[in-house]
């Protein structure tokens, strides 16, 4: 495999630019694995997920003060990734709940008797009533059925 093919393979594997791949390849003296590890240390490539030992983790204790900065940077990078993953997950949950509440506010629970509109309120209110006071809400809905009330959900979305 010639130099261009190796750099191309490193670029595809690491998802970096040609310039970054070439620079790492040259710093690693043509060794693809060392170049990939170098890109990991620079934070341009995420280390493999799961258990196990990876050279980029630098878990070996060195007797002198040398290399301690590299280990703390590796831990700090991992903590930043975990924080970013947590933030992304939290953002997704907040967006989902926000969309759910918006949909609940745009959908009404209507109470009808003999096709006459008696009351209407957002589904969000119904969900909160069912969540915090089911012993009152459920019996009222069931008793209403015996007295000829009908219930329907109506979407108020213009979409």
Alpha helices in the chain (DSSP H): 3-14, 18-27, 32-41, 68-105, 123-132, 134-146
**How crowded is the C-beta side of 103, counted as CA atoms within 13 Å?**
7
Question: Is this structure's pTM higher than 0.95?
Answer: no
Q: Name the token pair of 113.
A: 């008797």
How far apart, in whole angstroms, are the C-alpha atoms of residue 52 and residue 100?
Answer: 40
DSSP state of 30: T
Could you list the pLDDT tens digit for every one of the 159 residues in the chain? 788 888 888 888 888 888 888 988 889 888 888 888 888 888 888 776 665 555 555 544 444 444 444 444 555 566 777 778 888 899 999 999 999 999 999 999 999 999 899 999 999 999 999 999 999 999 999 999 999 999 999 998 765
């Amino acid at each position: 495999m010639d130099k261009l093919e190796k750099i191309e393979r490193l670029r595809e594997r690491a998802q970096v630019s040609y310039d970054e791949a070439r620079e790492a390849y040259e710093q690693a003296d043509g060794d693809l694995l060392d170049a990939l590890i170098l890109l990991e240390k620079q934070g341009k490539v995420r280390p493999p997920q799961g258990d196990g030992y990876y050279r980029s983790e630098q878990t070996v204790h060195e007797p002198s003060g040398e290399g301690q900065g590299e280990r703390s940077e590796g831990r700090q990078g991992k903590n930043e990734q975990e924080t970013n993953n947590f933030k992304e997950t939290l953002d997704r949950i907040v967006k989902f709940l926000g969309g759910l509440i918006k949909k609940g506010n745009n959908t009404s629970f209507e109470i009808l008797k003999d096709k006459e509109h008696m009351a209407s309120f957002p589904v969000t209110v119904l969900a909160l009533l069912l969540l915090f006071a089911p012993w009152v809400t459920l019996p009222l809905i069931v008793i209403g059925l015996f007295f000829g009330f009908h219930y329907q959900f109506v979407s108020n979305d213009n979409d």
